[in-house]
Structure 1
């Protein structure tokens, strides 16, 4: 599932780890063409005009579509994503992206700023210039929630984390409109600290979507021991959406219509 293998748009383009710690398989490079590992990657320029950069991306997208369709038709998502590394980096080298299964279309292209305010103008411009969603492609400027987190399993750190086993304890600050949360999974006691942190935050992004999680979650802690008064991820989503003044569920993507992205359809 592409959501868990987000690719950075940085200079090398392949073999990165996203901030969520999940790996991206590197495309093999012929030995004779391998760069000196001591050579630093060149610093990529940041475009001055997000709207011009977005327009250039969508022009390139139209040219790449036949090649993307061919790669995806062969089931080669990695090849399709590698075609997009440089075009996304040209929008801004700090962005992350993935090609996922769509909620309404067959495929979804997700380009994420990771809610970094310095990157957000670039994803805003990118989304505003995007073509309308159709039966084949839909476009997202942040990682959307999955319809049913209980049906998701993540293979990570040599373990299979079934998100149906995640339990959370949530404390709502009504005055601030924010939620503090402790996240528990039975396998968190069996992995290292980095993996534990990753698998604390990942279920929250999966459940709420990246943007709603960034807007409404304040303190996030790991609960290695099973806590009392815990709720499921689906119940947690309903609670956070209530705090945000959103409907409990408004479609396959959960927070698409009302997540503050300017009303752009997804």
Structure 2
């Protein structure tokens, strides 16, 4: 196995320091939420979150299963999403008073009766309207956002309202996974209310929970390549899985194009099924096949999950399976498979 070290140490100590502090500071947080202002508490939380990473943000908000929710957010940065998830996993279990989340949560009724002051305008959020254009190739929707005040607002403010409203309705992960392009428009035409848009996006997630796969083909260096990938191929679907695991599996039996014969493909599928069943903390997200080599892409949530794959591939009869593990929180290693 090849394991490439991170250039910087993981912020494990900073995460541990946060939760050690929270164990004693939580009563102060409960008083803060009920109206007992504590500027020192706010400053302390900000400093502890910044120590994990300076680009992370945090907030208290209303919960669902718990009355209150403490959120540490990557603010849409996929390179930080797994770090926020590691913060959450290291914390205590939720209870009636406090829950914990690594992304801002959405609510279909988030805009009801809401108002927003921005760029000198007072917006009634109930007046926001949306349109959603399905993109079947990417398993997402492109969303347009309209408000009667948009024509008189600067571009930056319109765009800010568009992104904020989608985060409030769908949650940060919902936007990251299911929304493609976002555009703030100044011409009436969008007709969906916030709850209608939220219901439409929720319906994109398969009810049976089974993964969807998308097939692709092309050529590399003159050799045909066929590939399949889970869709949508977004890291927010598997927060915390930030280690790219690349398995390069050789096969001898191939046709004139270098692709596996029927018999070889059956053996490759059997190996992949074996890996999928026994992998703990790793998920198969894509395959590429070309010129006698089948490359399987997995993402793991911890180094031990990657090491656990070694005995599963050790007996492959067509030669040595090369396994490479690379830190990749933004999933850049498979960007070419994501339309």
User: What is the TM-score with the length of structure 2 in the denominator?
Assistant: 0.56
Map residues 246-265 of structure 1 onto 2, 5 A cutoff. 260-261=238-239
Alpha-carbon shift at residue 177 of structure 1 (Å): 0.2
For these two proteins, the number of residue pairs brought into alignment is 206
Contact 2:18 2:48 (C-alpha < 8 Å) held by counterparts: yes
Match of 1:219 among 175, 178, 181: 181
CA distance in 2, matches of 1:235, 1:101: 22
Contact 1:212 1:259 (C-alpha < 8 Å) held by counterparts: no
Over 3 Å counting, the alpha-carbon distance change for 1:201 and 1:152 in structure 2 is farther
More strand by share: 2
Q: Secondary structure at the match of 2:55?
A: coil
Match of 1:148 among 109, 121, 131: 109
Map residues 67-78 of structure 1 onto 2, 5 A cutoff. 67-76=28-37
Match of 1:232 among 183, 193, 218: 193
> Where do 5+ consecutive residues of structure 1 fail to align?
1-45, 248-257
Alpha-carbon shift at residue 47 of structure 1 (Å): 6.9
Contact 1:182 1:221 (C-alpha < 8 Å) held by counterparts: yes
Over 3 Å counting, the alpha-carbon distance change for 1:169 and 1:154 in structure 2 is same
CA distance in 1, matches of 2:104, 2:54: 18
Contact 2:108 2:195 (C-alpha < 8 Å) held by counterparts: no
Aligned to 2:95: 134
CA distance in 2, matches of 1:74, 1:192: 35
Which structure has the larger Rg over C-alpha atoms? Answer: 2
Alpha-carbon shift at residue 117 of structure 1 (Å): 2.7
Contact 2:135 2:141 (C-alpha < 8 Å) held by counterparts: yes
Alpha-carbon shift at residue 109 of structure 1 (Å): 0.7
> Where do 5+ consecutive residues of structure 2 fail to align?
1-6, 209-235, 241-339
Map residues 29-108 of structure 1 onto 2, 5 A cutoff. 48-76=9-37, 80-108=41-69
RMSD between aligned residues: 2.5
Over 3 Å counting, the alpha-carbon distance change for 1:105 and 1:47 in structure 2 is farther
CA distance in 2, matches of 1:85, 1:47: 22
Alpha-carbon shift at residue 49 of structure 1 (Å): 1.9
CA distance in 1, matches of 2:64, 2:8: 31
Aligned to 1:166: 128
1:52-83 per-position Cα deviation (integer Å, ceiling 9, x unaligned): 33222101111222332333333437664333
Contact 1:47 1:92 (C-alpha < 8 Å) held by counterparts: no
Match of 1:177 among 139, 151, 171: 139
1:87-124 per-position Cα deviation (integer Å, ceiling 9, x unaligned): 11111111011111222322211100123232123212
User: What is the TM-score with the length of structure 1 in the denominator?
Assistant: 0.70
